Amino acid sequence: MGKLFGTDGIRGRANIYPITCEIALKTGQAVGLLAKKTGQKAIVIGKDTRESCDMLESALAAGIASVGVNVLLTGVIPTPGVAYLSTCLDGVGAGIVISASHNPYHDNGIKIFGQGGVKLTDAQEEDIESCILGENKNVPRTIVGRISVIPDSCETYSRFLLKKFPFRKPDRKLKLIIDTSNGAAYECATLVFNKKLFDTVFIHNQPDGKNINDNCGSQHTQDVSSQVLNKKADIGLAFDGDADRLIAVDETGKKITGDRILGICAKYAKAKNVLDNNIVVSTIMSNIGLVNALKTLRINHEITDVGDRKVLERMQETNATIGGEDSGHMIFLKEHSTGDGMLTALKLLEVMAGTGKSLSELAEVMTVYPQILMNEEVDASRPDFTKIPIIAAAIKEVETFLGEQGRVLVRYSGTQPLLRVMVEGPKEDITRECCEKICQAIRDSI
Flag whether pLDDT at 264 surpasses 70. Answer: yes
Q: Where in the chain is the domain with CATH 3.30.310.50?
A: 371-445
* pLDDT on residue 1: 41
pTM: 0.91
State how far Cα 325 lies from the chain centre.
8
Confidence of residue 168 (pLDDT cuts 50, 70, 90): low
Looking at residue 85, its pLDDT comes to 96
3-state secondary structure of 42: strand
| Per-residue pLDDT at 37 | 86
- Rounded Cα distance, 139 and 64, in Å: 10
Q: Which residues pair with 222 in a beta bridge?
A: none
Name the phi and psi angles at 60, rounded to 5.
Answer: -60, -45
Q: Is the pLDDT of residue 170 over 70?
A: no
Q: Which of 277, 259, 261, 267 is nearest to 297 (CA)?
A: 267
- CA nearest to 190, candidates 78, 332, 75: 78
**Does position 335 have pLDDT exceeding 70, yes or no?**
yes
Handedness of CA 156, 158, 163, 167 (dihedral sign): negative
Peptide bond before residue 18 is cis, with ω within 30 degrees of 0: yes
Give me the catalytic one of 101, 218, 282, 327.
Answer: 101
Stretch 33-62: mean pLDDT, rounded? 95
The amino acid at 5: F
Single-letter amino acid, residue 148: S
pLDDT range class, residue 382, cuts 50, 70, 90 = confident
Pairing of strands 407-412, 418-424: antiparallel
Helix (H) and strand (E) counts for the chain?
14, 19
* Cβ pair 322, 281 in contact under 8 A: yes
CATH label, 175-255, candidates 3.40.120.10, 3.20.20.70, 2.60.40.730, 3.40.50.980: 3.40.120.10
Count of CB atoms within 10 A of residue 91's CB? 13
Residue 415: the pLDDT is 64
User: Left if phi > 0, otherwise alpha if psi is -120 to 50, otherwise beta: which for 173?
Assistant: beta
* pLDDT on residue 397: 97
**Mean pLDDT of the 90-96 span:** 92
* Bridge partners, 329 (sequence order): 245
The pLDDT, as a whole number, for residue 20 is: 97
Are the C-beta atoms of residues 212 and 181 closer than 8 Å to each other? yes
- pLDDT of 136 above 70: no
Going from the C-alpha of 158 to that of each of 183, 342, 351, the distances in angstroms are: 16, 9, 20
Confidence of residue 24 (pLDDT cuts 50, 70, 90): very high
- What's the CA angle centered on 75, arms 72 and 81, to 5 degrees? 80
Name the residue with higher pLDDT: 38 or 215: 215
What average pLDDT does the chain have? 94
Look up 101 and say whether it is catalytic. yes
* pLDDT above 90 as % of the chain: 83
pLDDT of residue 169: 63
pLDDT at 159: 96
Higher pLDDT, 302 or 166: 302
Position 221 scores a pLDDT of 98
Residue 303 burial (CB < 10 Å; 0-12/13-18/19+)?
middle
Location of each CATH 3.40.120.10 domain in the chain: 5-152, 175-255, 257-365
- The CATH class that applies to domain 371-445 reads alpha beta
Q: Is 427 helix (H, G, I), strand (E, B) or coil?
A: coil
| Average pLDDT of span 381-396 | 93
Mean pLDDT across 231-243: 98
Q: What is the torsion angle, in degrees rounded to the nearest 10, for the CA atoms of residue 131, residue 135, residue 140 and residue 142?
A: 150
Are 100 and 108 in contact, with CB atoms under 8 Å apart? Answer: yes
CA distances from 49 to 11, 150, 266, 317, 331 (A): 16, 17, 33, 35, 24
Average pLDDT of the residues in 43-49:
98
DSSP character string of 137-154: ----SS----EEE-TTHH
Fold of 5-152: Alpha-D-Glucose-1,6-Bisphosphate; Chain A, domain 3 (3.40.120)
Given a cut of 80, is residue 302 above it in pLDDT? yes
CA distance 77 to 74: 7
Cβ–Cβ under 8 Å, residues 219 and 240: yes
Query: Is a pLDDT exceeding 90 seen at residue 31?
Result: yes
* H-only helix segments in 203-274: 222-231, 258-271
Distance CA 5, CA 261 (A): 29
Find out if CATH 3.40.120.10 is the number for domain 257-365: yes
In the chain, the N- to C-terminal Cα span, in Å, equals 25
Q: What is the mean pLDDT of residues 388-394?
A: 95
Give the model's pLDDT for residue 333. 95
Q: Calculate mean pLDDT across residues 66-88.
A: 96
Which range is least confidently modeled, 18-32, 105-119, 157-171? 157-171
Q: Which residue has the higher pLDDT, 136 or 329?
A: 329
CB atoms within 10 A of CB 272: 11
pLDDT band at 153 (very low <50, low <70, confident <90, very high): very high
